[in-house]
Chains A and B, each alone.
Chain A
Amino acid sequence: MSKFKINRRTLLKGSAALGVGLATPTIFSSKAWAAGYTNEPKGSTVTFGFNVPQTGAYADEGADELRAYELAVEHINGGGDGGMLNTFSSKELKGNGINGKKVVFVTGDTQTKSDAARASAKRMIEKDGAIMITGGSSSGVAIAVQGLCQDAGVIFMAGLTHSNDTTGKDKRANGFRHFFNTEMTGAALGPVLKNAFGADRTAYHLTADYTWGWSQEGSIKKYTEQIGWKTAAAVRTPLGAGDFSQYITPVLNSGADVLVLNHYGRDMVNSLTQAVQFGLRDKQVNGKDFAIVVPLYSRLMAQGAGENVKGIFGSTNWHWSLQDEGSKAFVKSFGQKYGFPPSQAAHTTYCQALLYADACQRAGTFMPSGVGAALEGFKFDGLGNGPTEYRAEDHQCFKDVLVVKGKENPTSKYDVLEVVEVTPRSQVEYPASLLGGELGPYNNGSA
């Protein structure tokens, strides 16, 4: 029984010895055992790990994230026009890398599958010596990779992930999220929907049948019922159903006058296209115009729904038509490099790379606990969302939320959304205890 009371250090020694006995002397030189913390950079460079979907339904979003990362690395290393580094309120980054080290990067394919994403992140940590992992385009993957990074002792800067759980139930000390969540979407959309459609409405939800969908359905229900709406039904639809007609026809005669589509990606494109096809956008119910709401918009995906998005409300983390200095600088350097405007996925990942770099510079180290301390409670501005704070309690960014609407007269194929309202941060803030979960301590990895 005394076996179980060995402390960590002797444990490691024991396992190392056993490993040597079993195998090869290379274990001695393995990075994991030698450094002060996982993948401590010893040379003149520091390696970032960009883990984005390159195959599967979100491949285009992943490609856009990768473009933004490359741009961010260029700017951190002093290349290009500096982008948002010029508008960022923190002036620690001088365009000569981080802590005197030049930033290099490795990439991997998450395939939007938890297993593949973790395997890819592990490769970057174990083989390529990545000091941090960032990226992703779904909450399942974000939570899976965040857990991995916690175990491995590296920082995870989440990409596009909207579920409450990422910084709620499943939050981890080593994980940080810039993107907003369903709770904020609900809080921002509620009042706008009341203004647009009145307080006497009955909503019908179609919800993707997995955790993110439920999270969003819950938030939207909560805030629409606060403004006096009723909920006629909330129907779960299988992921990737393709044809949603069998879920849409019951809406027609249900007496509901608002359809809420808690779908993302292809599901959103298909369900929205088909809802419009069934005449829901032009329908009259109870003497009121029927309305469709898509709580989480992605401009990239909205293009797939074409003209069906016209006039349909939703929320988004950021949009390229914003006119603040930060957004303008980012759109300019991204547009000049690639010839089209960046998506919200590109924006959030660019910000995450910059925020991480800046935190390392301010902390003077890459050690996760040091970097984390520099990010916790960090207040900044000039990254396109107005004054923003990385809340210490749950590692969630708090900033203004954009309520958008499908544009009636788009001037180009990128110009599909227009910003209806910028909901101020104070209105979407909630206590950290609301969503539960435990951050736990930082993990600096193998010493």
Chain B
Amino acid sequence: MDAIFLQVLNGLDKGGAYALIALGLTLIFGTLGVVNFAHGALFMLGAFVAVAFKSILSLEQVTIDPTRMTAWGTPMEIRQPFVEVWFGDLGATVLEYSVPFAILAAIPTMLFIGLVMERGLIQFFYKRPHADQILVTFGLAIVVQEIIKSIFGANPIPQPAPEIAKGMIDFGVALGFDAGNVVYPAWRLIYFLFSLSVIAVVFAFLQFTTFGMVVRAGMADRETVGLLGIDIDRRFTIVFGIAALVAGLAGLMYTPILSPDYHMGMDFLVLSFVVVVVGGMGSLSGAVLAGFLLGILQSFASMNEVKAIFPGIDQIIIYLIAVVVLLVRPRGLMGRKGVMEH
């Protein structure tokens, strides 16, 4: 029982990441009608905002210690981050909390990247065939990741969570399990709650603001909204920025779980498309639902008991679900007719 409960937690955690990426992706589909193959790259860029933030913070003062030598016979360099030199313990604390603090840097950065991308490239592809959109955004994704590779290298770069969130939380006792049986890493719980709040904020924004109302109207019937004299394009630009931000934050907060490397965006790309399609193209709640559903089913499929019956099921579960859902429900769980069917 506790094993199943833990797998649900794992699934919710994973699902949080899936849902966040898929949310932005489906938002872009629904509003702009663009197939964005660079969405994984945005997730990766978010993670690298954390990396860059930390490396700027830990710019080092280099002093040369002539009394000690490296193994290859040059004088040893003593490195100490400037923030520690200048601010002492406070500086060290800021460094330790670099992952959550990087959110402050990520919000303007990701919004900016999103706006530049939309104005500089995507807007010229609204009327172009989906194949063209795929080619250009895929090209962009490659260019972005190669730039990251040339700056940060190809190896993963560790981004530890703050010391306080590194421990485990034993909350099974409160739910009636034996002590020590249901423990879960604090950071993963934080990630799950974080993804829930981001989803809530996005929904509230679209539901309760005038801006959101116009965007939703635009999603439903773009032409009519345009005829009403509303400049829908400008709003859609902002929507793209928001989608980029959501993907970026998802990537940033995920770094203590997955050490970021330049290729991580591509790994999430296919998966996020599957999530979006299972949820139904252009359906926000569908994307969220499918994200959590796939996360949980993926966790269950990895259990030894399940794998004993279906060997290798954890290798294909995501795709298997996609096939079954699409055959039973032609437009995914909550898709609308006519969206991206041509």
Contacts and interface: CB of A to CB of B under 8 A. Distances in A.
Given A60-B153, A304-B155, A269 B71 contact: no
Interface stretch (A12-20, A35-43, A328-336, A417-425): A328-336
Interface string A304-332: 11111000000000001100000010011
B136 to A, nearest CB: 21
B6 interface: yes
A100 interface: no
A238 B315 contact: yes
Interface in B78-120: none
B128 interface: no
A249 B7 contact: yes
Contact of B259 (A63, A270, A279, A321): A270
A340 to B, nearest CB: 9
A235 B315 contact: no
Contacts of A59: 149, 153-154
Given A266-B156, A304-B156, A332 B72 contact: yes
Q: Name the residue among B2, B13, B156, B307 with the largest chain A CB count within 10 angstroms.
A: B156
30 contacts: A59-B149, A59-B153, A60-B154, A60-B155, A209-B312, A235-B304, A236-B307, A236-B312, A237-B314, A245-B14, A246-B314, A247-B302, A249-B3, A250-B303, A253-B2, A273-B257, A274-B257, A277-B257, A278-B168, A279-B185, A304-B156, A304-B157, A304-B259, A304-B261, A307-B160, A331-B72, A332-B71, A333-B72, A335-B72, A336-B72
Q: Name the residue among A249, A250, A279 with the largest chain B CB count within 10 angstroms.
A: A249
Interface in B32-75: 70-74
A250 B264 CA distance: 26
A246 B155 contact: no
Contact of B302 (A246, A270, A304, A305): A246
A260 to B, nearest CB: 16
Contacts of A305: 156, 158, 259
Contacts, number: 128
B331 interface: no
Contacts of B298: 246
B267 A269 contact: no
A58 B303 contact: no
A245 B10 contact: yes
Interface of A: 56-60, 63, 209, 233, 235-238, 240, 242-243, 245-247, 249-250, 252-253, 266, 269-270, 273-274, 277-279, 300-301, 303-308, 320-321, 328, 331-336, 341
A242 B183 contact: no
Given A249-B3, A253-B181, A336 B314 contact: no
B272 to A, nearest CB: 13
Nearest to B73: A332
B299 A331 contact: no
A235 B70 CA distance: 42
A357 B11 CA distance: 54
A341 B71 contact: yes
A278 B185 contact: yes
- Nearest 10 A-B pairs (CB), nearest first? A335-B72, A306-B158, A59-B154, A304-B156, A246-B302, A246-B299, A249-B6, A245-B10, A279-B168, A60-B155
B256 A277 contact: yes
Given A266-B261, A306-B160, A332-B72, A250 B256 contact: no
Nearest to B260: A304
B166 interface: yes
Contacts of B258: 242-243, 270, 273
B167 interface: yes
A58 B156 CA distance: 10
Nearest to A235: B304
Contacts of B72: 331-336, 341
A334 B158 CA distance: 26
A305 B156 CA distance: 8
B188 A245 contact: yes
Contacts of A332: 71-73
Contacts of A253: 2-3, 181
